[in-house]
């Protein structure tokens, strides 16, 4: 990073215009800025309500601003930024703006042109580095070279843990004692097909039949919870908590889980950020989007219809073959490998087809 007055920064703007997962992968930069400039005003600009909620009270951030803007920024969408720009002009411009990987450079150019920021710096983009996290880490290390992948974070606290404990107690589940496995259905999107929830239910049954003595909980949004209820008529999971917890309470609960099994989506990044082992089912999502964490197993399709680009689901794709060829056995074996690392679980036998 080159800036003539790097040691005299007073106002810093960090920009993550994307989903919750994008902001989590950008979070090491917030730590880098806080470590290097603890007295500076560090503002985080987001376009996702969950990201706003997650980092609202983070000590690394002085202020967080939400704008209705998209990652594919164009000058036609500049109007959504005008209230923020006018406020910035009134209170004084930012010394520098730092932008997450994958953002359209037009966004930084526009903010500089309007004198919102004096200087702009961008995280490198794929394929310069293998993952989005590594791209953002490169920018973070230009601010503070001590930053590593261990600095990915979501700021859970005692209040969020208390909320998680209360909801578990309400469903007669203990925070301590029996192990918890979290299930994340995620959404089925036009560009991101979801692995079958009925197959995910089969995986849960397999884990139970092969010796796991803990409990299963479903996390996510209210809509995702409703979709889960529609397929889990026998109440195989112990509690469907989707839509009943704040994002930080979900993060607290995930930090206490033995494993999270889920489709690609923001909550998988939350789980990875709090250190929960993951089996992430990403049929057509490139590995560059993988969740953070040291114990992450990715399940991908063998079909190459998307050619490694995302989102690029073919328009004539009605059956989502990239999800159909992922088997219950494949996902179960990934879960088994993680669970067998934990002495509380005991040995789990392999599935036989």
CA distances (Å), 123 to each of 14, 70, 143, in order? 11, 17, 12
Q: Which of 125, 151, 177 is the last residue of a domain?
A: 151
List alpha helices for 14-157, DSSP H. Answer: 20-36, 49-55, 82-91, 105-113, 132-143
| 247 and 117 together in one domain | no
| 199 and 331 together in one domain | yes
Please report, for the domain that includes residue 46, its CATH number.
3.40.50.2000
pLDDT of residue 291: 96
347 located within any domain: no
351 located within any domain: no
Measured distance CA(307)–CA(224) in Å, rounded: 28
pLDDT of residue 308: 46
pLDDT of residue 140: 97
| 127 and 173 together in one domain | no
**Residue 351, pLDDT above cutoff 80:** no
pLDDT tens for 216-256 read 999 999 999 999 999 999 999 999 999 999 999 999 999 99
| 30 and 167 together in one domain | no
321 located within any domain: yes
| 244 and 300 together in one domain | yes
pLDDT of residue 91: 77
**Residue 156, pLDDT above cutoff 60:** yes
Average pLDDT score over residue span 17-23: 94
| 140 and 180 together in one domain | no
pLDDT tens for 161-214 read 999 999 999 999 988 756 899 999 998 776 678 899 999 999 999 999 988 889
Measured distance CA(183)–CA(198) in Å, rounded: 12
Whether a cis peptide bond, with omega within 30° of 0, leads into 311 is: yes
Checking DSSP bridges between strand 94-99 and strand 11-16, what pairing results, if any?
parallel
345 located within any domain: no
To the nearest 10°, report the CA torsion of 300, 301, 305, 307.
30
| 42 and 127 together in one domain | yes
pLDDT tens for 109-150 read 989 999 999 999 999 998 878 899 999 999 999 999 999 999
346 located within any domain: no
290 located within any domain: yes
Q: Which of 151, 169, 198 is the last residue of a domain?
A: 151
| 312 and 182 together in one domain | yes
| 251 and 285 together in one domain | yes
162 located within any domain: yes
350 located within any domain: no
Count: domains in the chain? 2
For residue 320, name the pLDDT band (cuts at 50, 70, 90): low
pLDDT tens for 61-110 read 999 999 988 767 666 667 788 888 888 877 778 999 999 999 988 889 98
| 78 and 97 together in one domain | yes
pLDDT tens for 269-286 read 999 999 999 999 998 788
Q: What is the DSSP string of 250-309?
A: HHHHHHT-SEEEEESSHHHHHHHHTT--EEEE-SS--GGGPPP-SSEEEE--S--TTTT-
Token look-up 């005299």 returns 8
Per the structure, the complete domain to which residue 297 belongs is given by: 158-339
| 26 and 44 together in one domain | yes
For residue 353, name the pLDDT band (cuts at 50, 70, 90): very low
pTM for this entry: 0.91
| 135 and 173 together in one domain | no
Three-state secondary structure call for residue 20: helix
For residue 7, name the pLDDT band (cuts at 50, 70, 90): low
Q: Which of 151, 179, 197 is the last residue of a domain?
A: 151
């Amino acid at each position: 990073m080159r800036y003539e007055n790097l040691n005299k920064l007073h106002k810093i703007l960090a920009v993550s215009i994307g989903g919750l997962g994008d902001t989590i992968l950008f979070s090491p930069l917030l730590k880098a800025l806080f470590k290097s400039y603890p007295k500076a005003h560090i503002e985080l600009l987001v376009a996702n309500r969950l990201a706003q909620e997650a980092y609202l009270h983070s000590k690394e951030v002085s202020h967080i601003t939400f704008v209705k803007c998209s990652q594919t920024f164009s000058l036609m969408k500049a109007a959504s930024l005008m209230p923020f720009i006018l406020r910035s002009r009134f209170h004084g411009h930012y010394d520098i703006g730092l932008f997450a990987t994958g953002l359209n450079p037009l966004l930084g150019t526009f903010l500089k042109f309007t004198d919102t920021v004096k200087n702009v710096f961008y995280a490198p983009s794929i394929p310069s580095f293998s993952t989005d996290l590594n791209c953002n880490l490169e920018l973070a290390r230009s601010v503070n070279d001590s930053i590593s992948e261990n600095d990915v974070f979501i700021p859970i606290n005692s209040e969020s843990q208390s909320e998680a404990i209360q909801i578990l107690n309400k469903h007669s589940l203990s925070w301590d004692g029996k192990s918890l496995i979290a299930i994340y259905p995620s959404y089925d999107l036009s560009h991101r097909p979801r692995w079958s929830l009925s197959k995910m239910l089969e995986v849960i049954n397999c884990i139970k039949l092969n010796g796991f003595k803990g409990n299963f909980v479903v996390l996510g949004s209210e809509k995702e919870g409703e979709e889960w209820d529609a397929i889990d008529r026998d109440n195989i999971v112990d509690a469907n908590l989707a839509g009943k917890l704040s994002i930080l309470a979900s993060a607290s609960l995930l930090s206490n889980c033995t494993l999270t099994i889920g489709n690609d989506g923001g909550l998988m990044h939350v789980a990875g950020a709090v250190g929960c082992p993951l089996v992430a089912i990403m049929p057509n999502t490139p590995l560059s989007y993988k969740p953070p964490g040291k114990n992450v197993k990715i399940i991908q399709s063998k079909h190459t219809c998307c050619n490694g680009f995302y989102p690029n689901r073919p328009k004539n794709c009605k059956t989502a073959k990239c999800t159909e060829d992922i088997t219950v056995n494949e996902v179960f074996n990934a879960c088994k490998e993680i669970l067998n690392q934990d002495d509380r679980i005991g040995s789990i036998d392999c599935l036989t087809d």
